[in-house]
């Protein structure tokens, strides 16, 4: 009887210890955000989140302001340690990682110049429509300048997010 009580007591102590242990994960960067990682992204169902927050370092090869959804599309040639963020589909865009700044973040995320070596932070996603990997949306970029979206661009993206249709 005494042996059963010891076994049960030991079992309860182990259960209590196991329940109080918490896994502490250090975020990849202080610029990682909580909440929905795809908040404010147009047509988020096309993106599969592979990691809530990743860091990449590389050189900007192209910067394009997209009229349709207002995103700033950056082609980033990742440094060797970050090439694992690329998928086979990234070969169609010159082996670059696509980095997108959404209009709502343009007042706080720098738009980098072509040729700049930057660090970028954001969710790492698979774009199932295009078949490549992206950091989308970019939450922080280490170099460039703030280029806020215009009121017209913000109205257009709000309409696009609410209705799925662009302004006429």
Please state which of the ranges 4-8, 32-36, 49-53, 60-64 shows the lowest mean pLDDT: 4-8
Q: Where are the beta strands (DSSP E) in 66-149?
A: 72-78, 97-101, 117-127, 132-135, 140-141
Which pLDDT score is estimated for 24?
45
For residues 112-126, give the mean pLDDT.
97
pLDDT confidence bin for 3, thresholds 50/70/90: low
DSSP letters of 130-153?
TTEEEE-S--EESSSB--PPPHHH
Average pLDDT of the segment spanning 48-52? 97
Q: What is the pLDDT of residues 131-147, one digit of tens each?
A: 999 999 999 999 998 99
> What average pLDDT does the segment 104-125 reach?
96
């Amino acid at each position: 009887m005494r042996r059963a009580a010891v076994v049960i007591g030991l079992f309860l102590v182990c259960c209590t210890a196991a329940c109080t242990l918490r896994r502490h994960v250090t975020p990849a960067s202080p610029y990682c955000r909580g909440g929905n990682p795809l908040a404010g992204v147009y047509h988020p169902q096309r993106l599969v989140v592979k990691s809530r927050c990743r860091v990449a370092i590389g050189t900007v090869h192209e910067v394009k302001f997209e009229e349709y959804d207002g995103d700033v599309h950056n082609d980033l040639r990742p440094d060797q340690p970050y090439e694992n963020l690329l998928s086979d589909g990234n070969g169609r865009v010159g082996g670059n990682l696509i980095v997108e700044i959404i209009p709502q973040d343009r007042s706080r995320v720098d738009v980098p110049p072509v040729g700049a070596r930057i660090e970028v932070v954001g969710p790492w996603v698979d774009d199932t429509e295009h078949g490549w990997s992206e950091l989308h949306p970019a939450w922080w970029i280490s170099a460039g300048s703030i280029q806020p979206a215009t009121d017209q661009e913000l109205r257009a993206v709000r309409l696009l997010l609410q209705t799925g249709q662009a302004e006429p």
